[in-house]
Structure 1
């Protein structure tokens, strides 16, 4: 392709005539944030906010050092290293138009498996004020059934036995904090950006439990010098596909090996508790609050749960992307009723929030046909997502003796999903850290439906709730003997008759 320009710092002058580029001097940026888990969401969200702060307000003290700890992080490490940390953000509107801008806030990247000591030293550096995390819902190593830290994890055992060569986020952060204490450095903030209720508290619990066993003399220092603010994050960010890379080449003649696609909507609500200061994110739309819990509940139980509902049901029907499911009138009706009837009663007071408008916004966002969010991405690691996004609502509805028809159907559909084949006899891979357990339980449920609910780390004591168990057995029988669309239509019709 003629005039194709590779994305890197040297080529910024030529690229500036094609897309928006950083106007700030990247050599003058101070790195104050270490981010662990540089994926598409981080690049569409936190790194985007940092870029906007630099671009529009000249604030250059919020540079990001990305850190990859997993073997699969090597790919993004190599791409960003080759591109000097630069990447293109492609923001796709509902009408099909999109804007592209080069983001320059990631100024360093360290690959942990290649150089563990460099990661530890970077986190221990006095310029670092924040460690932020997108390590997925399952990355906090807490048993969903008991809520306790899982010390049986082989990687955790390895970190306890070999503290100088850690493998997990907990091992790395612990050794870095130990260095900060030894050197008399100031404390810092650990900022979770994962979709977990009270994510700051979860991060605090997991890290503290690890430190108690790994470095018990460090516990008091952490309690006094490290803060863990809760936060709610939101921006639909699908997997980058080859078509996105080609679009950049064709429309802008830019070669970006890993651009990021996202929707225009973005939100970040954070508790303002940063022990060593923070960037002035409020200048670029971040909302700082005293208590983020109501916002978390709303987002996790509506948006994230809605995604899981559409993903699981759509996968069985044979759809490939979320917009396909959301624009199907039967599935969209089911989702709207799920949000109105089964979720909204559990949300409590949301002062100043137009909940009906928010739910309509979610439906519009799910139906954005230009985002093409893959169902396979939404169903990824569902064993970590279902307890957070759906089972919390289920428990609240059970306590109030309220309707659980739709949420139970989704859980039954998830059981069937783990059979690994859709209704058109197309197979798919179960991508989940608990896939062996899930697949085995789904297989056993053909003869004993309750077998799936006996996965204690997911369902806990729900297997003892007769109302739920009876509803689940009935729903599982339906999804195994009828099409998922028939099951949904049956519920939709029943609701219309009430």
Structure 2
């Protein structure tokens, strides 16, 4: 370690309420008295995204002297979150968020979270949710945390965790069990219901959340389900900010570059967006004053983001994973991967994204290219490859369905699916083992091995592809692409896709 870094570490200010005035002058810090805050929100899932997104918006609002009655109480149903809770408790629930652009960074300390309930403590969580001052319950529980049946796309009321809550409703263990139990108490005591606001990255997240809450309530008491459906609300929202996981690199950076001793720092990109339907049953913070866009229908915005940005992540992730590339920046610097991204986005995805109010899609895509290439926001390729069985049906398959329905070509999207299949074989092109990276990893590996000689084995996953296995506009280029990946390797296939020869040659697969 250099002398300068040692000196910086010695000067780093340990984060707490008592040291806010000692922070470096460049760091934005709460200018509100924490004693002036009262809780209005319980948030499940106090991870990096929540702290870099909702937490930053609320902090900016409170720094403007507004809405001090909308502070956040953190919650979690995951016992493993106790470690992060302990770290934040030692810092008086304060946390640093450093937004990084290609040319610089801006750090702030947020103070909107005033408590964090012990994870998986059902009694403590219920007592808080039942209190009338809680008017919003917000969620970042990951895309896969909503108990959606893979076959129907609806709430899976037979899931073992849901059935366990039904059997033990006085002490539920899922987020939705806790919400329903608290709403029953509030109804019985004559209190107002609260708004349930998903901040997860899935289409129509409010609709999905309503199905989970009302669906579970239906199993408990049909009249309760009707009351919740009528008296609570579930706004759809589109959220956007890249906030990679915190590791040793980030813990060192916050000390060496910012001068803050934060045991759980968050680093994120400088881009920030939140589009939200204005459907709240008991008030809300005035978030429009700090940049949140309130709309009647969030659908066009979420479709744009999910297909262009999240679909774009999938396009770079799997070829990069096969080539042993570890970070998103390195993937974007690879000319074949960058060329693949551009060609598929511009020729197959953007042309079928429905119009978005006050938005130019090509300009939006240019912003995404800049974000993906940000050298200071290092998203790991492994994270971008994570949970493909849940993400592919949301981020890639809808574009394939729309194009094939209109008899439009899908060679690039078919190649993207083939790259995912090849990744799930479980070995990179160098022979390195790909460790399990999906809740259904064993099943995917089995399918990918079968698909090496029978691509239909992969397309036969109806929960992913539906009827696409029988659509020749997709099936034929998928088969050609997968065969070529095994015969030639990723770089050769990408090059031939870009120069127009991959799908121009006859299909000799005889399938």
Same fold, TM exceeding 0.5? Answer: yes
Structure 1: segments with no counterpart, 5+ residues: none
Q: Does residue 1:395 correspond to 2:398, yes or no?
A: no
Partner SS for 2:11: coil
Q: Give, in whole Å, the separation in 2 of the partners of 1:20 and 1:350.
A: 34
Aligned equivalents of 1:139 and 1:70: distance in 2?
Answer: 12
DSSP-derived class of the 2:500 partner: helix
Distance 2:259 2:133 in 1: 38
Q: After TM superposition, what 4+ stretches of structure 1 lie above 4 angstroms from structure 2?
A: 495-498
CA–CA distance in structure 1, aligned partners of residues 212 and 485 of structure 2: 37
Establish whether residue 306 from structure 1 lines up as the match of residue 303 from structure 2: no
Distance 1:141 1:480 in 2: 35
Quick check: 1:346–1:393 contact (8 Å CA) kept in 2? yes
State whether structure 2 residue 368 is matched by structure 1 residue 367.
no
On the 8 A contact 2:217/2:225 being kept in 1, the answer is yes
The residue aligned with 1:111 is 118
Out of 442, 445, 454, the position equivalent to 2:451 is 445
Task: Give the structure 2 partner of residue 75 of structure 1.
Answer: 83
Shift of 1:10: 2.5
The aligned runs of 1:414-429 (5 Å cut-off) are 414-429=420-435
Superposed displacement of residue 481, structure 1: 2.0
Residue 90 (structure 1) aligns with: 98
Greater mean alpha carbon deviation, residues 345-354 or residues 50-59: 345-354
Query: Structure 2 length as normaliser, TM-score?
Result: 0.93
Match of 1:31 in 2: 39
Q: In structure 2, how many angstroms separate the alpha carbons of the residues matched to 1:136 and 1:176?
A: 22
Instruction: Give the structure 1 partner of residue 509 of structure 2.
Output: none
User: 1:446: how far off?
Assistant: 2.2
Tell me how far 1:151 sits from its aligned partner: 3.2
Q: State whether structure 2 residue 142 is matched by structure 1 residue 102.
A: no
CA deviations over 1:301-346 (Å, ceiling 9, x no partner) = 0001101111112111111111111122221221112111111222
Counterparts of 1:496 and 1:439 in 2: how far apart (Å)?
Answer: 25
Q: 2:338 aligns with which of 332, 335, 339?
A: 332
Q: 1:360 to 1:27 in 2, by over 3 A?
A: same
Assess if the C-alpha contact under 8 Å between 1:309 and 1:410 holds in 2. Answer: yes
Aligned residues: 496
Q: Shift of residue 233 of structure 1?
A: 0.7
Q: Distance in 2 between matches of 1:123 and 1:461?
A: 43
1:315 aligns with 2:321: yes
Equivalent positions of 1:478-493 (< 5 A) are 478-493=484-499
Matched, 1:406 2:390: no
Determine which of 162, 165, 172 is the counterpart of 1:159. 165
- Asked if 2 retains the 8 angstrom alpha-carbon contact of 1:412 and 1:472, the reply is yes
Question: What corresponds to 2:50 in structure 1?
Answer: 42
Deviation at 1:496, TM superposition (A): 12
CA distance in 2, matches of 1:38, 1:234: 16
Partner Cα separation in structure 2 for residue 426 and residue 495 of structure 1: 29
CA distance in 2, matches of 1:397, 1:56: 47
Q: Is the 8 A contact 1:24 1:58 kept in 2?
A: no
Q: Is the 8 A contact 1:239 1:377 kept in 2?
A: no
* Equivalent of residue 11 in structure 2, options 3, 11, 35: 3
The answer to whether the 8 A contact 2:157-2:215 is kept is no
**In structure 2, distance between residues paired with 1:433 and 1:247:** 32
SS of equivalent to 1:51: helix
Kept in 2: contact 1:144–1:387 (CA 8 A): no
Asked if the contact 2:315–2:340 (Cα under 8 Å) also holds between the matched residues in 1, the reply is: no
Q: TM-score, normalised by structure 1?
A: 0.96
Matched residue of 1:91: which SS? strand
Q: CA deviation at 1:206?
A: 2.0
Query: How many Å apart are 1:34 and its aligned residue?
Result: 0.9
* 1:28-427 equivalent positions in 2, closer than 5 A: 28-95=36-103, 97-113=104-120, 115-427=121-433
User: Shift in Å at residue 398 of structure 1?
Assistant: 0.8
